[in-house]
Structure 1
């Protein structure tokens, strides 16, 4: 009976995995960390916020953590060197770090803001993957989960830097899945929709100000394009990632998985 129960456990296989989560000290990243830690994973995270890193250390004193900007190659190298020393290897990379980028018409967007959004949301995933893959190969395989967005499935007016980066994540994910599959490395993308939290509040506030309506009216407009008429939570995303890292997700690769209450359009 115990063996049967274990086979039915959707979290089976996570315990003991060594997992690196970028931007893991807050928001979706923290929800992922909590979910995986509850299932027995060993964690190493990075973030750019000192206060969040300190709070993470208090909640997870045994986990590794470092201040690092994923768009900075030197920071990424230091992070992976520290993770290798702390964890002794790697079984999964969660490429979670990203920024919202600017809101505005394409003719009003500062090129520096464009570059910064691409650098963090897309190039950062490349810089982390290039260091993670040799470690995953040494472990005999593993999993890479790249954070995209519903904006990586639909065009997103007035958010072109963000949407462009997130479409790029889909191409990056599917290419890596083909490249790394023979090495027993699975690569998938998560596409969150409207995720409750400070970042989404800021996006809705900025768009409301741009078109001259109230925050409440703009929020209603956003949710009118969601079939279930609600936002999703960071923990919803964490649950999907736990599935992908578990034995239950052993044959899921190259997929773009929406966690979005069925966003119909942006």
Structure 2
């Protein structure tokens, strides 16, 4: 049995220290994947690795290892994918998940530095990781793999005072389409999951009250983040001949259909 066969399917998950990234990493590990965990904070990544190890205790379970890295830094991204390659020998999945909201302030009060940070994390980081994944997937044997981008409901419809986040998530849709097209000759599939109100630290404000398009503030329903993780796993485990191009997973009663 070769080293690659022993390792099995391999994924890189960014933003893996909490929330959706953590839930997806644990779900994949429980299903037998080996997962490289990327994020800026080593402590939370190690916590995710421990949760993945517990989940992987089941038959056919995989495992996870932390690679502290900042996706906005090209040298960190290079090191992340090099570490994944050295540890496992290949890459089957990139879950491009790292992201941030930015401050909810009037447009004229948003500083350029605040705008640039959101763009760097949500869009530039996603590009850098996708580029590194492409290089690995094109060069490995067997060739190919899958990229799943975390879009958002905001890739379709904005919330009030979210110009930077909304702009990057609309751009993520263009990135997804271009990756999907450019990946065709190399067996690289790319899809996008647009998530609405998964219960994580980032969406805590939904449960206490958040701004609505009509100027009011309202509590919004949330859903179990594990349902997002199961959806990502379904997308990830399709044969490369099939692809979920876009999937929307949301709290059923959240104000999205008819928002505004």
Range class of TM-score, shorter chain: 0.7 to 0.9
* 1:192 aligned partner: 195
Distance in 2, Cα, partners of 1:45 & 1:239: 18
Residues 161-194 of structure 1, C-alpha deviation per residue, up to 9 Å, x if partnerless? 0010000000000111111112111100110001
- Tell me, which stretches of 5 or more residues in structure 2 are unaligned? 1-6, 54-62
CA shift, 1:207, in A, is 4.6
C-alpha contact 1:195 1:232 (8 A) present in aligned 2? yes
Structure-1 separation of matches of 2:105 and 2:205: 14
Per the TM alignment, residue 66 of structure 1 is displaced from its structure 2 partner at its CA by: 1.3
Q: SS of the residue aligned with 2:218?
A: helix
Q: 1:156 to 1:66 in 2, by over 3 A?
A: same
Aligned partner of 1:36 among 28, 51, 70: 28
How far off its partner does 1:248 sit?
A: 6.2
Scaled by the length of structure 1, the TM-score of the pair is 0.82
1:240 aligns with 2:231: yes
Q: Separation in 2 of the partners of 1:102 and 1:204?
A: 18
Counterpart for residue 157 of structure 1: 160
Name the count of aligned residue pairs: 237
Aligned residue number for residue 243 of structure 2: 252
Q: 1:204 to 1:59 in 2, by over 3 A?
A: closer
- Name the structure with the higher helix share: 1
Instruction: Give the CA deviation at 1:41.
Output: 0.7
RMSD, matched Cα: 2.3
Q: Distance in 1 between matches of 2:12 and 2:107?
A: 35
How does 1:92-103 map onto structure 2 within 5 Å?
92-103=93-104
Distance 1:129 1:194, change over 3 A: same
* 1:92–1:136 Cα contact (<8 Å) kept: no
For residue 247 of structure 1, report the CA deviation from its aligned partner: 3.0
Q: Report the Cα distance in structure 1 between the residues aligned to 2:240 and 2:145, rounded to whole angstroms.
A: 11
Mapped to 2, the partners of 1:94 and 1:128 lie a distance apart of: 9
Q: In 2, distance between residues paired with 1:115 and 1:203?
A: 25
Higher normalized contact order (CA 8 Å, seq sep 6+, divided by chain length) = 1
Alignment match, 1:11: none
- Equivalent positions of 1:223-234 (< 5 A) are 223=220, 230-234=221-225
2-structure distance, mates of 1:105, 1:206: 18
Map 1:52-67; keep pairs closer than 5 Å.
52-60=44-52, 62-67=63-68
Partner of 2:60: none
Q: Is the 8 A contact 2:49 2:66 kept in 1?
A: yes
